[in-house]
Amino acid sequence: MSRLIEARGLALVRGGRLLFEELDIVVDGGDGLHLTGRNGSGKSSFIRLIAGLLRPYAGTIERAETALADEHLALDRELPLGRALAFWRGPKLGEALTAFDLDRLADVPVRMLSTGQGRRARLARVMASGAPLWLLDEPLNGLDEAGSRQLASAIAGHRDAGGAVVTASHGPLPGEWRTLELGA
């Protein structure tokens, strides 16, 4: 199994507050890491840290190519969904549109999408990227039952294919997950 994240001695300070320290994380292909912890314990910050969008206060991170779905849509609102997603040049775009049942919506402008459709669109962007490591911040938010099932099967397929998923989620996700509790 290939190593996708190797982080040693991580510490993160946000707003003058130490969120965690001396954290060692190893994630291999096929792994699923579920971040838990109360609000403000640093789950989202941890995900942004792994993504390389925040700098660790201490420690080192090495990671494979990564795709991120957080609360931001990051799609051009005036474009049709298909073209907006195509901007990110994901090699698996068609597959991702089908997996999240967005084929019908490919011609709909992004600004017309409902909340749940927008949530599926950002998950589709992650899947389309073809990156081996997925970072999903609260992926279940705004998803209906069908959307949750699509997400679960996308995650399962990704992990079976040797990818890994790191997620911060309040709800339970099907499958085997390692749990990392932050702020404990």
> In this chain, which of 9, 40, 52, 183 binds other proteins, going by CB under 8 A?
52
Q: Which is nearer to other proteins, 24 or 71 (CB)?
A: 71
Q: Which is nearer to other proteins, 13 or 152 (CB)?
A: 13
Report, in Å, the least distance between residue 6 CB and other proteins. Answer: 18
Q: What is the Cα–Cα distance from 159 to 70, expressed in whole angstroms?
A: 20
112: contact with other proteins by CB under 8 A? no
Helix (H) or strand (E) holding 26: strand 17-28
Q: Which is nearer to other proteins, 31 or 137 (CB)?
A: 137
Residues 6+ apart with CB under 8 A from 108: 80, 81
180: contact with other proteins by CB under 8 A? no
Q: What is the Cα–Cα distance from 32 to 144, expressed in whole angstroms?
A: 22
CA dihedral 45, 129, 62, 23 (to 10 degrees): 30
Both tokens assigned to 107:
């011609």
> In this chain, which of 19, 23, 47, 51 binds other proteins, going by CB under 8 A?
51
Report, in Å, the least distance between residue 75 CB and other proteins. Answer: 8
Nearest alpha carbon to residue 152 among 162, 130, 132, 167: 167
Q: Which is nearer to other proteins, 135 or 180 (CB)?
A: 135
Report, in Å, the least distance between residue 144 CB and other proteins. Answer: 23
Q: What is the Cα–Cα distance from 134 to 112, expressed in whole angstroms?
A: 26
Q: Within positions 58 to 97, which residues make up the interface with other proteins, using CB under 8 A?
A: 65-68, 70-76, 78, 87-89
57: contact with other proteins by CB under 8 A? no
E strand intervals along 70-157: 133-137
Both tokens assigned to 171:
């709800």
Binding footprint of other proteins on the chain (CB under 8 A): 48, 51-55, 65-68, 70-76, 78, 87-89, 125, 129
